[in-house]
Amino acid sequence: MRILLPCIYAFLSCAAFSIYFNVSPKRIPLTCLGGALGWLVYLLLDFPSDVPRYFIATVVISVYAELMARVCKVPVTLFLTTAVLPLVPGGGMYYTMEYCLRGETALFVETGLNTLALAGAIALGIMLVSSLVRMWKVMKAPKLFYKDKIQREDY
């Protein structure tokens, strides 16, 4: 129950954002499943720091989004933007600004750097999976890629 309930909350929060982003009603459960899956991975990992947990959870979400985009034949961003929302470090951003306004410099810097590291881990996880998928596409069909390059160089 300690792990199941937060995953349900992540699913429901993704549902609200799916409705806000005008996701098709038949695809809302699939987009929400990605958010719940990412939060489940985050909770199951046991690292002393949150940064690797965020990174691995984002990689799982990105792989899920890439797979579901291929299955449903829709853009990856449909699944990715909604599913990554439960991981966004909103609380860290709030407390960073609160410490800044209070003049607590040490806490401001510490919280700000941690929030920046978490946001960087999310961005890096998305970028890694996206780059690997693009490289795989090029390796899968090299003749098409090189043929296009040769035609461009001829002009």
Tens digits of residue pLDDT in 17-29: 999 988 889 899 9
Q: Quick one: pLDDT at residue 141?
A: 73
Contact 69, 5 (CB under 8 A): no
| Phi and psi torsions of 16, nearest 5° | -65, -45
pTM of whole model > 0.75? Answer: yes
Q: For residue 87, what is the DSSP state?
A: G
Q: For residue 45, what is the DSSP state?
A: -
Residue 155 has pLDDT above 50, yes or no: no
End-to-end Cα separation, the chain, in angstroms: 64
